[in-house]
C-alpha cells in the first residue's frame, strides 16, 4: 500500500491527555484532514457515538477483521482490542485527504513501521496528578479502570521519547497551536513517497 504523497499525522496521549479535543479542533479548522476512526471491542462510554469516537465491534467481528487482513494495525489495551481499518483509510487516500490518526503507543509503533514518513506527536498532561484529576472529572470509568490507566501512563511516558515531538498540554490553546505548527513544518520538509 503506497501513501501516494499523503500527509499523515499520528497523535497519542494517555487517556485524559487531551488528544481527542485537539483532533476535533484540527478537523474543524482544516476540512482537508480526515480522521481515521479506530475500531474497538470495548464498550462505548455514555457520550460516545458509534462511528464518531470509535467503530464499536464484537470480539468475534474484530477477530474476523484480523483474519481477513482488514486492519493496518491492531493492539490490545486494558483487555480490549483496538485497530485501524484499512478500507476507509485507502478511500481517504484516494480522495487526496490528509490523514490524522489517534492511536495508543503500541498502535503507533506498528503504524510507524508501515508508514515511515508519518509525523508522530505525543500529548502529555502536565503531571500524573493532573491526569488522575482529569480521569476522575470525566466520571465515565470505574476506579479499577482509572488505576489501570494510571499504571499504563508510567510505561507510556517512556515510549513518548520515540515520537517526533512531545507536547505538554497544560494549556489546550497552546497545545493546539504547537500541533498545528509541527504539522505545517513537517508538510514542507518531508518526502511523502514512501511505501506504507
Instruction: State the pLDDT at residue 87.
Output: 94
Digit-coded pLDDT (tens) for 26-60: 898 888 899 999 999 999 988 889 988 899 999 99
C-beta separation of 21 from 134 below 8 A: no
Lowest mean per-residue pLDDT among 89-93, 100-104, 113-117, 191-195: 191-195
Q: Does residue 59 sit in helix, strand or coil? A: helix
Look up cell 480522521; give the residue: 35
C-beta separation of 134 from 125 below 8 A: yes
Top pLDDT among 72 and 189 is at 72
Top pLDDT among 141 and 87 is at 87
> In the predicted model, what is the mean pLDDT of the chain?
86
Helix ranges restricted to H, the chain: 19-29, 59-67, 86-94, 105-114, 128-138, 143-159, 172-189
167, pLDDT greater than 60: yes
Digit-coded pLDDT (tens) for 96-148: 899 999 998 989 999 998 887 899 999 988 887 887 787 888 777 778 877 87
Look up cell 505545517; give the residue: 184
3 state SS for 132-175: HHHHHHHCCCCHHHHHHHHHHHHHHHHHHHHCCEEEECCCHHHH
Digit-coded pLDDT (tens) for 55-68: 999 999 999 999 99
Amino acid at each position: 500500500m503506497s501513501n501516494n504523497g499523503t500527509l499523515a499525522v499520528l497523535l497519542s496521549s494517555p487517556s485524559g491527555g487531551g488528544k481527542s479535543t485537539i483532533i476535533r479542533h484540527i478537523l474543524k479548522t482544516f476540512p482537508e484532514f480526515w480522521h481515521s476512526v479506530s475500531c474497538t471491542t470495548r464498550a462505548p462510554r455514555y457520550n460516545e457515538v458509534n462511528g464518531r469516537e470509535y467503530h464499536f465491534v464484537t470480539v468475534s467481528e474484530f477477530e474476523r477483521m484480523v483474519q481477513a487482513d482488514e486492519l493496518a494495525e491492531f493492539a490490545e489495551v486494558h483487555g480490549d482490542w483496538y485497530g485501524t481499518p484499512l478500507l476507509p483509510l485507502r478511500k481517504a487516500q484516494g480522495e487526496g485527504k490528509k490523514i490524522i490518526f489517534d492511536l495508543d503507543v503500541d498502535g503507533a509503533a506498528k503504524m510507524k513501521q508501515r508508514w515511515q514518513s508519518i509525523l508522530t506527536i505525543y500529548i502529555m498532561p502536565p503531571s500524573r496528578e493532573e491526569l488522575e484529576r482529569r480521569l476522575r472529572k470525566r466520571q465515565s470509568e470505574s476506579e479499577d479502570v482509572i488505576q489501570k490507566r494510571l499504571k499504563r501512563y508510567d510505561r507510556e511516558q517512556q515510549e513518548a521519547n520515540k515520537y517526533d515531538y512531545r507536547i505538554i498540554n497544560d494549556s489546550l490553546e497552546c497545545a493546539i497551536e504547537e500541533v498545528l505548527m509541527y504539522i505545517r513544518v513537517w508538510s514542507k520538509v518531508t518526502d511523502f513517497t514512501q511505501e506504507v
